[in-house]
């Protein structure tokens, strides 16, 4: 396909408030624009979740996780030439079978309408059950092409079903266009208030609830009390470890700490990280250098804020990847294989730690943080080189997606 020939493309995947997934989708939209594919329609929670050039070309989500579409959304689906299911990770049974069954039903509906489905810049796994693997295999039968964001996903899915055309890439946050958007917009007073100017390191810290998932039929959203009762003792232990790390950062480096949720406030309170970040802050209630980022930030302000830190210490993968995208070091506490695999593929395996090992002995994480903060510019140069390579890789994969069409 020629670089500037166009198809009517639809991005229907539901993303509610997850800043990392929103930035990955934003990156994909930047990439499509860069190769001349601008006839793009998006289903989104709100226009502010999209780049400005697409804010007039979207439909809000319908009911039941977009199962019931508005008339405008139905029209967009009917007239689309191709569906790109992009960003995040959907093919997993770690939380419940519901996500897989939803994906199978949705993709089956799209295929009945005669639509071509390409999964783009997604991860997959873990798939721990025979049923989960069976459903994933059926999902892949409905997919034409799949751009995978890490080698683990490539190996897992190509073994489950070798029929789709698979392309290796990285997460969709590694696309061009963010810097231009940031330069075009003045730095807001809100971001300036959090970041300011100082000689001490600025560290962004993220925590998410964990230890509550299981491969249940009923999803977390429909059985929250049952899920939330799980793993509370481990979460308390995790919070205490984080408090100790923050205390060391303050004492050894006089670091300024930003406790940053990966969710836009007020969208999904039960998924938001704010509760756990507030618990860390309570241990430093009188210390103004430990700050909870609780002011509503639009996506551009969030991006600028994360691009301003000196280090990100995160459980959420995309909280780490956002910092890396702008050349800043990141340490990931990996609660699922995706974190370790993403960092390995970037050549940063020394910066990713399995959460269970971290819970048993956090000292290796502290040693790595110390080495980063005491180190010179070599790691930043390495990260910048890997970002450039990842952007080139993603652009190549995206162009390949449209070849021969």
**pLDDT for residue 14:** 96
Predicted structure pTM score = 0.94
Asked if the structure places residue 307 within a domain, the reply is yes
- Shared domain for 116 and 217, answered yes or no, is no
Residue at 385 is within a domain: no
Same domain for 201 and 335?
yes
**Mean pLDDT lowest among 156-160, 176-180, 196-200, 201-205:** 196-200
* 169, 244: one domain: no
Domain annotation covers residue 386: no
350 with 395, same domain?
A: no
pLDDT at residue 247, rounded to an integer: 98
| CA nearest neighbour of 120 among 12, 192, 39 | 12
Structure tokens at 156: 């897992």
Q: Calculate the average pLDDT of the chain.
A: 92
Per-residue pLDDT tens over the stretch 9-26 = 999 999 999 999 999 999
Is 151 found in the same domain as 64? yes
Q: What is the pLDDT of residue 405?
A: 53
DSSP output for 269-320 = TTT-SHHHHHHHHHTTTT-TTEEEE-S---HHHHHHHHHT-SEEEESSHHHH
What pairs with residue 127 in β-bridges? Answer: none
> What pLDDT is stored for residue 217 in this prediction?
58
Give the pLDDT band of residue 232 (cuts 50, 70, 90).
confident
**Predicted pLDDT of residue 216:** 59
pLDDT tens per residue across span 161-198: 999 999 999 999 999 999 999 988 888 898 999 998 88
Cis before 11 (ω within 30): no
* Domain carrying residue 316: 187-374
CATH number of the domain encompassing residue 143: 3.40.50
Identify the pLDDT of residue 271: 82
Query: Tokens 């990285």 label which residue?
Result: 170
Share of the chain above pLDDT 70, in %: 94
Q: Which residues pair with 91 in a beta bridge?
A: 124
Domains in the chain: how many in total? 2
Q: Say if residue 364's pLDDT is above 90.
A: yes
Residues 129 and 249 in one domain: no
Task: Read off the pLDDT of each residue in 103-125 and give the average, rounded to a whole number.
Answer: 97
Exposure pattern of 217-255 as b/e (b: 16+ CB <10 Å)? eebbeeeeeebeeebeeebeebbebbbebbeebbeebeb
Is residue 366 one of the residues assigned to a domain?
yes
Q: What is the pLDDT of residues 122-144, one digit of tens each?
A: 999 999 899 999 999 999 999 99
In a domain, 380, yes or no: no
Question: How confident is the model at residue 194, as a pLDDT?
Answer: 94
Per-residue pLDDT tens digits for 265-300: 888 777 899 999 999 999 999 999 999 999 989 999
Residue 4's pLDDT is what? 45
Q: What is the pLDDT of residues 217-226, one digit of tens each?
A: 556 566 666 6
Asked if pLDDT for residue 328 goes beyond 90, the answer is yes
Do 365 and 263 share a structural domain? yes
- Please tell me the distance from the alpha carbon of residue 405 to that of residue 378, in angstroms, as a whole number: 43
Report yes or no on 382 lying in a domain: no
**pLDDT-derived band at 35, boundaries 50, 70, 90:** very high
pLDDT attached to residue 229: 67
Q: Does one domain contain both 281 and 344?
A: yes
Mean pLDDT of 324-330: 97
Looking up residue 297, the CATH number of its domain turns out to be 3.40.50.2000
**Residue 350, pLDDT score:** 96
87 vs 237, more confident: 237
Q: Are 204 and 312 in contact (CB under 8 A)?
A: yes
- What does the pLDDT average to over 65-69? 94
Which pLDDT does position 382 carry in this prediction?
96
Q: Is the pLDDT of residue 2 over 70?
A: no
pLDDT at position 185 is 84
pLDDT digits (tens, 9 = 90+) for 336-356: 889 999 999 999 999 999 999
In a domain, 384, yes or no: no
Helix axes 317-325, 378-401, angle to 10 degrees: 100
What pLDDT does residue 222 have? 60
- On whether both 127 and 191 belong to a single domain, the answer is no
**Statement to judge: residues 42 and 165 lie in one domain:** yes
Of the two residues 380 and 333, the one the predictor is more confident about is: 333
pLDDT score for 1: 38
Place of tokens 């049923």: 131
Do residue 258 and residue 342 come from a single domain? Answer: yes
Residues 310 and 256 in one domain: yes
Please report the pLDDT score of residue 46 as a whole number: 93
**Residue 39 resides in a domain:** yes
């Amino acid at each position: 396909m020629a670089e500037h020939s166009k198809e009517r493309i639809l991005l229907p995947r539901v993303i509610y408030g997850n800043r990392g997934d929103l930035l990955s989708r934003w990156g994909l939209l930047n990439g499509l624009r860069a190769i001349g594919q601008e006839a793009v329609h998006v289903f989104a929670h709100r226009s502010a979740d999209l780049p400005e050039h697409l804010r007039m070309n979207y439909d809000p989500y319908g009911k039941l996780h977009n199962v019931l579409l508005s008339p405008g959304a139905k029209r967009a689906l009917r007239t689309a030439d191709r569906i790109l299911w992009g960003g995040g990770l959907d093919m997993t049974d770690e939380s419940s079978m519901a996500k897989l069954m939803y994906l199978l039903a949705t993709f089956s509906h799209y295929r009945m309408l005669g639509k071509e489905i390409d999964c783009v810049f997604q991860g997959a796994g873990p798939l721990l059950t025979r049923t989960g693997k069976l459903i994933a295999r059926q999902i892949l039968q409905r997919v034409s092409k799949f751009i995978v964001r890490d080698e683990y996903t490539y190996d897992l899915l190509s073994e489950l079903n070798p029929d789709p055309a698979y392309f290796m890439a990285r997460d969709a946050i590694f696309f061009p266009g963010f810097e231009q958007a940031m330069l075009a917009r003045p730095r807001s007073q809100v971001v300036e208030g959090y970041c300011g100017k100082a000689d001490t390191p600025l560290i962004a810290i993220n925590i998410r609830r964990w230890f509550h998932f299981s491969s249940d039929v009923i999803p977390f959203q429909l059985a929250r009390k049952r899920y939330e009762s799980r793993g509370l003792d481990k979460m308390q232990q995790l919070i205490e470890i984080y408090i100790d790390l923050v205390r060391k950062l303050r004492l050894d480096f006089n670091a300024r700490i930003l406790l940053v949720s990966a969710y836009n406030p007020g969208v999904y309170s039960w998924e938001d990280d704010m509760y756990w970040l507030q618990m860390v802050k309570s241990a430093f209630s009188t210390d103004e250098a430990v700050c909870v980022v609780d002011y509503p930030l639009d996506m551009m302000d969030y991006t600028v804020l994360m691009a301003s830190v000196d280090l990100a210490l995160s459980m959420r993968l995309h909280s780490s990847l956002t910092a890396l995208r702008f050349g800043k070091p990141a340490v990931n506490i990996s609660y699922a294989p995706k974190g370790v695999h993403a960092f390995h593929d970037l050549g940063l395996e020394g910066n990713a730690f399995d959460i269970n090992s971290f819970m048993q002995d956090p000292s290796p994480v502290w040693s790595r943080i110390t080495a980063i903060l005491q180190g010179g510019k070599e790691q930043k140069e390495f990260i910048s080189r890997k970002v450039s390579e990842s952007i080139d890789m993603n652009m190549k994969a995206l162009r390949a997606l449209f070849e021969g069409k």
